[in-house]
Structure 1
Amino acid sequence: MLCAPAAGRALLLCALLGRLAAAGSPELPTAVNITWSSINFKTILRWQPKPSDYFYTVEIHGQTSDTQKKCILTAETECDVTDVLRNVKETYTAHILSVTSSRMDNFEEPPFAVSEKFTPYNQTILGKPEIQNYTQKDSKLSIVFKDPLTPYTFPNGSFQSIRDIFKHDLDYKLYYWKDQSSGKKDATTKSNKFEINVDSTKNYCFYIQGIILSRRENRDGQESVVLCTSVGRNILDEYGAEVFIIIAVIAIAVITLAIVLSVILCKRKKAKSAREKEPLNGV
């Protein structure tokens, strides 16, 4: 008969102690402005604010994969989570826990903030293709370029390229135009080479970017550097018509000045000759 009241008093005491412990441990601030930043599958998680007297621990939750912890007890506000996102078609969320070092041993769940969902295959940005070489011979422009690499490796240790992951879902688009012109044309390939017909008397500028065909957003990758050919480049192509107009104006001015000076010198010479032929006064 005495057991039940004793058990009730024990539960009440535990509840009171729990409330006192909670009152003595104020809730820690949670992360805000959580963003995913990913280029070629290298993915960085960022958030705010900078912690003061507490730390952050990141938990990555996948739809079908086990929860994994990263950047445990960090005082930073960013975390490289690339290595736990290897299943690039999985959709992940990040839980950013606000913790103290002493609270890690506590069974109580720390406060945390949850990120937006992130699917690397759909959301990573394609980096710049690397143009290895290009030639313009007669009416043919040939361009060879290299796929951007990812942080992920094959079993032999070599790095996978974005083509190894996206396969036939990856296209490259070339934008090209005559030098000194604004009218662009484009061409598409699934290989690492472009060969296009051009005007053999003109120089061309161009850049390349990758495209993921299955995407509705973030389809276009970063643009490569802009390069220009120089085959058959003449002075007019190099400097433009404006420079020739300036040179022509200067030449006309010099010729006009020379003519004016010649006329003045000629008149002075005639005047001097006329004075020399006049008789001296008093003679």
Structure 2
Amino acid sequence: MFRGYRGCGASLWCGVFPCGSSLAVPRAGVARAAAAGVWDASAVLPVCPGYTVNITWSSINFKTILRWQPKPSDYFYTVEIHGQTSDTQKKCILTAETECDVTDVLRNVRETYTAHILSVTSLRMDNFEEPPFAVSEKFTPYNQTILGKPEIQNYTQKDSELNVVFKDPLTPYTFPNGSFQSIRDIFKHDLQYKLYYWKDQSSGKKDAITKSHKFEINVDSTKNYCFYVQGIIPSRRENRGGQESVVLCTSVGRTEVFIIIAVIAIAIITLAVVLSVILCKRKKAKPAREKEPLNGV
């Protein structure tokens, strides 16, 4: 029984033959070849139905999608997830797609997994031989999932203090009561957040770190500030920093300027209206005086 093939550049193998080749086997040798686990019981078949390449794990907040190439033509794919200590689980059985959501079989987020992408032809569906497969790189969700964008719920700048309150990203996993777990529920004390902030229209950034849901920063009370928040896992070797939140800016001082501008605009409009009324009355009064008879005439 051949065990499958692994991707190693252009050298992909099925059994003892290179993938993509095909051999004509004399019918007298078909049974012998089939017994050796290399061929199905037919005279001429390709050794592999197609070889799978570019297998990648894409994971954000533990939502994990497995992707690969190429698009199948006359065969299907089945995904097997192998854990170091857990049982093998199958996903996306006999699919014609080139991606598979494997989130629900990676619940043990500290486990290390590999994925086998099986290439299955209709000729093998009733066969007990293991179909050819490609093997992914190892993947450990706890160490490799990307932290998503924190959601900023509220922020204020009062006097010389900037306050920012934010919310943890949610994961696809739930508690027994059905509510979704946040990344904090999984990472616990390994999770930190970093606030990057700078004076508006300036490039000099400062940062602060917290393990809570808020920042309280001393700032210049006469300046506006822009900022964003990012989740970090300091214990990681790679992918320490997550996705950045949206950039927001305070508006201290801008409100006062807008009020002053609005007051001036209202005053100008009022003055223009008053002057128009006065001029209009004067124009009406002038013809009336001209029609009055002169004294002594």
Instruction: Tell me, yes or no, whether TM beats 0.5.
Output: yes
Q: Within 1, Cα distance between the matches of 2:155 and 2:271?
A: 49
Q: 1:102/1:199 Cα in 2 relative to 1: closer, same or farther (>3 Å)? A: same
Shift of 1:276: 34
Q: What corresponds to 1:251 in structure 2?
A: 265
Residue aligned with 1:45, SS: strand
Max Rg structure: 1
1: CA distance, partners of 2:195 / 2:72: 46
Query: Given that residues 73 and 101 in structure 1 are in contact (C-alpha distance below 8 angstroms), is that contact kept between their aligned partners in structure 2?
Result: no
Residues 118 and 282 (structure 1 numbering): CA distance in 2 closer, same or farther, change over 3 Å?
Answer: same
Q: Is contact 1:126–1:222 with CA below 8 Å preserved after alignment?
A: yes
| Aligned position for 2:291 | 277
For the residues of structure 2 that align with 1:218 and 1:267, how far apart are their CA atoms? Answer: 77
SS in 2 for 1:222: strand
Larger displacement relative to structure 2 (99-108 or 205-214): 99-108
Matches within 5 A, 1:43-192: 43-192=64-213
Residues 58, 96 of structure 1: 8 Å contact kept: yes
Pair 1:131–1:180, CA change in 2 (3 A) = same
CA distance in 2, matches of 1:142, 1:120: 33
Give SS of 2:243's match.
coil
* Local SS of the residue matching 2:244: coil
1:27 aligns with 2:20: no
Offset of residue 275 of structure 1: 39
Distance change (3 Å), C-alpha of 1:182 and 1:277? farther
Stretch deviating more after TM superposition (270-279 or 241-250): 270-279
Q: What is the CA distance between 1:206 and its match in structure 2?
A: 0.1
SS of the residue 2:294 aligns to: coil
What are the Cα deviations for residues 158-202 of structure 1, in whole angstroms up to 9, with x where unaligned?
000000000000000000000011111100000000010111100
Inter-CA distance 257–161: structure 2 relative to 1 (3 Å threshold):
closer
Alpha-carbon displacement from aligned partner over 1:67-91 (angstroms, at most 9, x marks no partner)? 0000000000000000000000000
SS in 1 for 2:277: helix
Gaps of 5+ in 1: 9-16, 234-240
Residue 144 of structure 1 and its aligned partner are, at CA, apart by: 0.4
Q: Return closer, same or farther for 1:250/1:74 CA change in 2, 3 Å cut-off.
A: same
Matched residues in 2 for 1:178 and 1:200: separation? 11
In 1, Cα distance between equivalents of 2:64 and 2:268: 65
Identity %: 91
1:35–1:275 distance in 2 versus 1, CA, 3 Å: same
**TM-score by structure 2 length?**
0.71
Q: CA RMSD in A?
A: 6.6
Shift of 1:252: 26
Distance 1:23 1:246, change over 3 A: farther
Any stretches of 5+ residues in structure 2 without a counterpart? 1-22, 38-45
**Superposed displacement of residue 231, structure 1:** 1.2
Preserved contact between residue 28 and residue 99 of structure 1 (Cα < 8 Å): no
CA distance in 2, matches of 1:5, 1:125: 53
Shift of 1:261: 27
Change (3 A) 1:117 1:268: same
